[in-house]
Amino acid sequence: MKSPPSLRPGELAFALLLLGFSLAAFYEAYQISGFTGLTTGGAMPMTAAAVMIVSGLFIVKDTLARRGGPAPSLRETAAFLVPPRLLIFTALLIAYAAAIPWAGFVAASSGFLLISIMLLWRRGPWWAAGVTLIAMAAIYLIFRLGFQVVLPMGTLWR
């Protein structure tokens, strides 16, 4: 098992966030059946949440122990965690997911592929369009006709 040499930007905040999430998960698990019995539906979720809390505490402790040097600025944390390319791509991803029920799988995927390949590949719109066309044709042939997956049509075309 290898240990990272130094703390990553935002690692302590993330560890605390996970600990908070574990505590919330324990509360939610407690809501299922409380401490009413050893074989209730809530017993295993509560055990799992307890393991998350204990390991979460260890993660926070390890993170604190690895702390050294000045704390990274918000800008450094953002550059490490969400570089501009990732931010744009994630925004595209969300837009893609939102567009599927409305525009249908084929149109939404074509749009997503075209824009993201154009942004990431930087070979010009014609290359991106060509690749998108080939990829979509292959996906349609393999999945719609081969695997017989019923792809979402989209409300726009009804």
Partner 1 sequence: MMEAAGYFATSWIDPHLLGLTALGTLAGVYIGAIPGLSVTMAASILISFTFKWDVNAALALIAGVYVGGVYGGARSAILLNIPGAPSAIATALDGYPLAQKGLAGEAIGLSTVMSVLGGLVGVLALAVAAPLISEIAIKFTSREYMLLGIIGILLVGTLSGESFAKGAFMGALGVMIGMVGLDPMTAETRFTYGSINLMGGIPFVVAMIGLFGVAEALIQLERIDKTPIKQAVSKIIPRWRDVRRYLGVGLRASGIGAIIGALPGTGGDIAALLAYDDAKRSTRKPETPFGEGAKEGLIAPEAANNAAVGGAFVPMLTLGVPGDAVTAIIIGALFIHGLKPGPLLLVETPHLFWFIVGNLTLANLFLLLFGLTGVRVFSKIVECPKAVLMPLIIVLSAVGAYAIQNNPIHIYWTLGFGIAGYFLKKYGFQVGPVILGVILGPMIDANYRRAMIGARQEPGQFFLDLLTHPISLMLTIALLLMLLAQTPVLKWFGDLLYRKRRTE
Contact with partner 1 (CB under 8 A): which of 70, 107, 126, 131?
131
By CB under 8 A, residue 11 contacts partner 1 = yes
Applying CB under 8 A, does 64 fall inside the site for partner 1?
no
Mark residues 100-119: x for contact with partner 1 by CB under 8 A, - for none.
Answer: xx---x---x--xx--xx--
Amino acid at the residue 152: P
- For partner 1 (CB under 8 A), the number of binding residues is 66
Backbone dihedral angles phi then psi of residue 67, each to the nearest 5 degrees: -70, 140
Binding flag, residue 25, partner 1 (CB under 8 A): yes
State the residues that interact with partner 1 by CB under 8 A.
1-4, 8, 11, 14-15, 18, 22, 25, 28-29, 32-33, 37-45, 48-49, 51-52, 54-56, 58-59, 62, 80-81, 83, 85-86, 89-90, 93-94, 96-97, 100-101, 105, 109, 112-113, 116-117, 120-122, 131, 135, 139, 143, 147-152
